[in-house]
Amino acid sequence: MEKMTRREAIVQGGRLLSGSVVLALPQGVLSACSASKPDPTTVAQIRKNVQKASLDGIRLTIVYDNYRFNEELQADWGFSCLVEGLDRTLLFDTGRYHDAFVSNLFKLGIDPKSIDELVLSHDHPDHVGGALKFLEFNSSVTVSLVRSFPSGFKKSMQESGADVAEIEQATTISRNVVSTGEMKDIVRNEHSLVLVTDQGGIVLTGCAHPGIVEIVERSVALTGQEILLVAGGFHLMSDYGSSIRNIALKLRDLGVRHVAPTHCSGGEARQIFSAVFGERFLNGGVGRVITAGDFI
């Protein structure tokens, strides 16, 4: 008899809705509810509005991560990434502890006032922990978050002086950046970003709770672009190796050229993705900077 995958075991065990178990579920179990395709009107609107940025100027800096790339920075559970070189400078997520977040930000020489947009992927503390502190340094930003964030959190952003943009449908959030829209998931609804460049799309994920494959499929459907890079949390910590390998192969089949799985991707997933993508695997971790020169 064929070995049952961990996700099949959980589904067949009927524990899917047991609250204490949900957080440990592998991402793919939960992704079916987010797999709906974007409607053609939304796709047409996005493709009409979006403009390709030059890849040459793009720079991603991982400000917060539980993997360490730069020894001088604090590594802690969570994720945050600065995106420069687009029409607007974006900060995507803010890590868990504001002191570690701010310390890393300044050690990396990042001026908070240089940031135009704060994008929060989903309402988990390891992604929004530094948000309020950030607004103390720069409240002249738009905070783009999914509509399901608690109203109290949205209010606190507004009371700090920021504009809040609630994301529901997929949309452009700047000339070069597309949000996948709010993808539903039992753990947390989440949106991811596609940075649209002249060499392909760069998909940036927080935890990928709705499923990394589903996020990439949606990114391709929205932009029509080949995916140059998928970076961020892939949330494969609880998946079996065979399942992770299938996901890595699926991403490769979808045309993903490079991957940088970090944060909640899991050590085993990083090894498997490294084996599947070879030189096109980019090591993540706090302090990692990714530029055009990293792509083959």
Binding site for Fe ion (CB under 5 A): 124, 126, 207, 264
Q: How many angstroms separate the first and last alpha carbons of the chain?
A: 42
User: Which residue lies nearer to Fe ion by CB, 55 or 208?
Assistant: 208
Nearer to Fe ion (CB atom), residue 50 or residue 244: 244
Taking CB atoms within 8 Å and a gap of at least 24, the contacts of 110-116 are 110/61, 110/63, 110/82, 112/137, 112/138, 113/137, 113/138, 113/140, 114/89, 115/82, 115/89, 115/90, 115/91, 115/141, 116/88, 116/89, 116/90, 116/141, 116/142, 116/174
Q: How far is the CB of 192 from Fe ion (least distance, A)?
A: 12
For Fe ion, the closer of residues 124 and 184 by Cβ is 124
Which of residues 126 and 214 has its CB atom nearest to Fe ion in the complex?
Answer: 126
Residue nearest to Fe ion (CB): 207
Rounded to a whole number of angstroms, the minimum distance from the CB of residue 274 to Fe ion is 21
195, 58 contact by CB (below 8 A): yes
Nearest approach in angstroms of CB 4 to Fe ion is 26
Closest distance to Fe ion from the beta carbon of 53 (Å): 27
CA distance linking residue 156 with residue 172, whole number of Å: 24
DSSP run (H or E) holding 260: strand 258-262
Cβ pair 115, 91 in contact under 8 A: yes
| Least distance between Fe ion and beta carbon 263 (Å) | 6
Q: Is the Cβ–Cβ distance between 130 and 104 less than 8 Å?
A: no
Q: Give Cα 73 distance to the centre of its chain.
A: 21
CB of 15 to Fe ion, least distance (A): 20
Nearer to Fe ion, 201 or 233 (CB): 233
Residue closer to Fe ion by CB (options 80, 219) is 80
